[in-house]
């Protein structure tokens, strides 16, 4: 089989064989995390707010040690995820150096979009309380075969308490994510819409991110992340 990662679904390469037994929930998360180590490319793209049409240019760099997000609009911003720590550590580059993004700011919006810093840090990929909900889940009309796993936070410090992940069995990528608060109310949904091929890897082309009103369940915001063809570093 193949593997990849997020923003959990940024790229995939070969990982498991079809005849391998169903992995545990813990092994599936390890699969997702390890895929970072195989990435070595740079991608340009944009975030687009569905309601206003406002766009934020984005440069994404992936390597063995870091995932870096560079936003060029004023005020410019660089956020990088240090993959050498467990869990991975999210930093903001500011004048004079880098500072770690504090947990109390995890729910803050990134560039006024429906992404927040918790989404970029992906802390939920390191949570220990995980459960395989369905070993043969199917997604949408395309009937994509996935593993559906649920991760529960070890504390109540961040914006999410439980996160459901649908990991594509043929690619190892996260095809969909839903995040819930402590009251089990849906607050965020990610879904991969399009992928593109780069050599033997499958790379993200478009992702839809939706945030929800916790009072009535209505969609309160929708952001699209669209990436161009990757470039080798």
pLDDT digits (tens, 9 = 90+) for 135-164: 989 887 557 789 999 999 999 999 999 999
pLDDT band at 91 (very low <50, low <70, confident <90, very high): very high
- Helix, strand, or coil (residue 36): helix
CA–CA distance, 233 with 222 (Å, rounded to integer): 31
Q: How confident is the model at residue 11 (pLDDT cuts 50, 70, 90)?
A: very low
Question: Confidence band (pLDDT; 50, 70, 90) for 97?
Answer: confident
Specify the pLDDT at position 197: 72
CA distances from 197 to 11, 179, 184, 203 (A): 9, 28, 36, 6
> Is pLDDT at 40 greater than 50 in this prediction?
yes
The pLDDT of residue 216 is 95
Q: If we measure between CA atoms, which residue out of 107, 108, 6, 52 comes closest to residue 221?
A: 52
Question: Span 2-228: which CATH code?
Answer: 2.50.20.10
Number of H helices, E strands in the chain: 2, 16
Tally the C-alpha atoms within 13 A of residue 78's C-alpha that lie toward its C-beta.
12
Q: For residues 119 and 189, give the distance between their C-alpha atoms in angstroms, rounded to a whole number.
A: 11
pLDDT tens-digit series, residues 41-72:
789 999 999 999 999 999 999 888 889 999 99
Q: What is the arithmetic mean of pLDDT over 101-115?
A: 94
How much is the pLDDT for 7? 43
Q: Pick 216 or 230 by higher pLDDT.
A: 216
**Mean pLDDT value across residues 108-123:** 94
Query: What does the DSSP assignment read for 130-162?
Result: EEEEEEEEEETTTTEEEEEEEEE-SSSSSS-SE
What average pLDDT does the structure give for the chain? 86
Rounded distance, CA 138 to CA 144, Å? Answer: 5
Q: How confident is the model at residue 219 (pLDDT cuts 50, 70, 90)?
A: very high
Question: Measured between alpha carbons, how far is 115 from 109 in angstroms, rounded to an integer?
Answer: 6
* pLDDT for res 231: 77
With contact defined as beta carbons under 8 Å apart, do 66 and 78 qualify? no
Q: Which residues contact 206 (CB under 8 A, 6 or more apart)?
A: 192, 193, 194, 224, 225, 226, 227
Question: Where are the domains positioned within the chain?
Answer: 2-228
Question: How far apart are the C-alpha atoms of 71 and 113, rounded to whole Å?
Answer: 12
């Amino acid at each position: 089989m193949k593997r990849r990662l997020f923003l959990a679904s940024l790229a995939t390469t070969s990982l498991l064989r079809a005849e391998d037994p169903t992995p545990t929930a813990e092994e599936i998360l390890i699969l997702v995390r390890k895929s970072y180590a195989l990435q070595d490319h740079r991608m340009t793209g944009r975030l687009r707010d569905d309601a206003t049409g406002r766009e934020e240019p984005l440069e994404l760099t992936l390597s063995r040690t870091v995932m870096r997000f560079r936003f060029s609009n004023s005020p410019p911003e660089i956020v990088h995820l240090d993959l050498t720590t467990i869990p991975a550590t999210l930093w903001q580059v500011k004048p004079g150096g880098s500072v770690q993004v504090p947990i109390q700011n995890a729910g803050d919006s990134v560039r006024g979009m429906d992404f927040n810093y918790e989404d970029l840090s992906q802390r939920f990929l390191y949570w220990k309380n995980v459960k395989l909900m369905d070993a043969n889940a199917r997604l949408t009309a395309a009937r994509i075969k996935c593993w559906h796993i649920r991760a529960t936070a070890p504390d109540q410090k961040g914006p999410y308490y439980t996160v459901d992940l649908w990991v594509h069995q043929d690619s190892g990528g996260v095809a969909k994510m839903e995040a819930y608060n402590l009251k089990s109310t849906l607050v965020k949904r990610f879904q991969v819409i399009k992928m593109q091929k780069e050599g033997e890897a499958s790379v993200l082309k478009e992702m839809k991110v939706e945030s929800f009103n916790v009072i009535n369940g209505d969609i309160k915001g929708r952001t699209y992340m669209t990436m161009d063809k990757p470039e080798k570093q």
